[in-house]
Amino acid sequence: MDAPLALYRRYRPETFAEVIGQDHVTEPLRHALAANRVNHAYLFSGPRGCGKTTSARILARALNCEKAPIADPCGECQSCRDLARGGPGSIDVIEIDAASHGGVDDARDLRERAFFAPVNSRYKVYIIDEAHMVSPQGFNALLKLVEEPPPHLRFIFATTEPDKVIGTIRSRTHHYPFRLVPPKTLGDYLLQLCESEHVALQPNALPLVVRAGQGSVRDTLSVLDQLLGGAGPEGVTYDLAVQLLGYTPDSLLDEVVDAFAASDGSTVFGVVDKVIESGQDPRRFAEDLLQRLRDLVIVAAVPDALSKGLLDVPGDRAERLLSQASNFGPSELTRAADIVNAALIEFRGATAPRLLLELMCARILVPGSDNSAQGFQARLDRLERRLSIDGGAPAPAAPVAAAPPVATRPRVVEPVETTPAPVAEPVAEEPAPVAEPEAVVPATITPPVIEEPAEPDVPAATRREQPAETSGPAVAQSAPQPATGNLTIADVRRLWPEILDKIRDLRRFAWVMLSQNAQVTGLDGTTLTIALVNAGARDSFINSRSEEYVQQALHAVLGVSWKIEAIVDPTARPGAGSSDEPESPDPAPAAPRKGVSAPESVREALRDPVTPEAREDPDASATRDDPVVDHEEIDPEDLLSRELGAHVIDESRHD
């Protein structure tokens, strides 16, 4: 059995009513045919595959129909059957390909044959396809015939470049410009064809087919024909369309967009590596990323764009777009789209496409290096979003800043001892008199004093009483703040370096554990999920009660009171929460790896973790002691082996 014809041939329209997306052309032609006011020459122009030649054949059928004048051919007479879909054709309707018959000799031969009357029909119709390929000499040879044809002769010129048709010919024709078919109209038409072919088409695969066709009905049907040929029992699926058409999967686009929102350079360049390693075209990835950014720009500017029909996406993807757009400012999105668009121009003829793709991503990640107006606006968007996060819970700043002034300034001791409850009132009024002698120092210099220990000139009794009133855990328990609703996982990952800095001030062991073995992976309501690289690190995190210090840091930086859930994820990338590693002026000594000799200073620090300041004042160091080292009678080498999986080698044995 012979293979069936291609879709664009099997479903070629036979009447003007079947032509989709060209109502501005078909309706005037139908009225002209019904009123018998047909011109002797027509010029159909427009992009490829939009119905120019098909409409010319329908016009020829309607002209030669036995029931003419009629708007649509009857389909029953001999002329209509000859010119129907799959028919033998008519000797009175001649189609000429001007690409191979555009010379002067061809024009002269046509002129000689045109004067003969039609054999069986009312009109002899010449359909000249690709008319712009006719040479100027050929057009000049046809000029007199087109200007004053015999009564039985009709001309229909079809071209994709009407400007190349000489003006003397264009001025003697009725010009009808065809257009590309809108995506919505084309999508509905494809669904009808799939129903006729009894093949299922997944809703999320339909936009890919329409996009591949680029508004051309013939090209779109060719793409659909390819997918139908390779479809299995489940029909045309999204995965099949992505693989055959070469588009970037939505999962990769979601991953890279979320990483841009969180300024996560590690994830961004990981996605670029996946694109290259999977054999995808970097330029196609950039095009798909630009399409996604365009959708996000529209969603950010018009929140109800999906209900208005501005975007044609499935329901689950629509929610995803709304969530991603909320993580960006409008200037950040437009700036990223401009960068990708400029990179697409550079991709033409590029010898190192991966390098260009990585440079494009680097420009998007670092707005600070962009001195243009868009770069400044993108940084302003980030500052505004940060202020909106901090402004949602300003209350935690007062309790945290209240402790150090009371502990470091003798004049606040007396109110604290007499009336402990209203400590916040004198502290709130205290910065004013301090700022008077030093007018250049703003009141916001109070927070840095938090990290300094109590001064020795403060009485010891006061120092013993004060931590009970203003210590970090007490504040977090006595005045918990509800989680702000506008915080997302992208915000937490962006601010993770500042949270780690706060944890370092609270407890050095927890900071080392989190910075080297943990990554923030999820935020569900009021529960923050932290993934550690192995079970040993997770157990050490839980046994050392490090989650309490994480909660205190979150309370101080974000003003939230969240639960902490620790999980094991071997794929976690420590430090991937931000594009920049937290800078530490006084980093903790890193635990030695197996087979690496630990310096004597590290072993000394593990044997005696108490700082010199703490030796002078044991009470002031009570809150900074490490319970794992100080309250468990365990050898430091055993501690390193149990907590960090390290093996300490004594250098003295190798001397």
Helical residues (DSSP H) of 11-135, grouped into ranges: 23-34, 52-64, 78-82, 104-114
Instruction: Give ranges for CATH 1.20.272.10 in the chain.
Output: 250-390
Is domain 7-177 given the CATH code 3.40.50.300 in the classification? yes
Instruction: Give ranges for CATH 3.30.300.180 in the chain.
Output: 489-568
Confidence grade of residue 303 (pLDDT, cut at 50, 70, 90): confident
The CATH code that applies to domain 250-390 is: 1.20.272.10
Is domain 489-568 given the CATH code 3.40.50.300 in the classification? no
Which tens digit of pLDDT belongs to each residue from 420-467? 444 444 444 444 444 343 443 343 334 443 444 444 444 443 343 343
Within 8 A by CB and 6+ apart from 316, the residues are none
The per-residue pLDDT for 602 is 39
The SS3 assignment for 41 reads: strand
The fraction of the chain above a pLDDT of 90, given in percent, is 30
The token pair that represents 385 in the structure block: 């979003």
| Of 109, 105, 92, the residue nearest 57 (C-alpha) | 92
Q: Across the beta sheet with 41-45, what order do the strands follow?
A: 93-97, 124-129, 153-159, 41-45, 174-177
How far apart, in whole angstroms, are the C-alpha atoms of residue 71 and residue 289? 47
The SS3 assignment for 524 reads: strand
Between 585 and 39, whose confidence is greater?
A: 39
Instruction: Give ranges for CATH 1.10.8.60 in the chain.
Output: 183-245
The per-residue pLDDT for 381 is 67
Within 8 A by CB and 6+ apart from 319, the residues are none
Neighbours of 129 (CB within 10 A): 20
How far apart, in whole angstroms, are the C-alpha atoms of residue 476 and residue 429? 23
Which tens digit of pLDDT belongs to each residue from 633-652? 556 666 566 656 556 665 55
The token pair that represents 344 in the structure block: 């697409």
User: What's the CA angle centered on 214, arms 210 and 220, to 5 degrees?
Assistant: 55
The per-residue pLDDT for 571 is 77
Confidence grade of residue 337 (pLDDT, cut at 50, 70, 90): very high
| Of 365, 372, 438, 452, the residue nearest 405 (C-alpha) | 452
Which tens digit of pLDDT belongs to each residue from 157-195? 999 999 999 999 999 999 999 999 998 899 999 999 999
How far apart, in whole angstroms, are the C-alpha atoms of residue 517 and residue 509? 12
Q: Contact, 560 vs 614, CB < 8 A?
A: no
Model confidence, pTM: 0.57
Neighbours of 279 (CB within 10 A): 7
Identify the architecture of domain 183-245 in CATH: Orthogonal Bundle (1.10)
Instruction: Give ranges for CATH 3.40.50.300 in the chain.
Output: 7-177
Sign of CA dihedral 450, 455, 458, 460: positive
In the chain, what is the greatest distance between 2 CA atoms, to the nearest angstrom?
A: 122
The per-residue pLDDT for 540 is 83
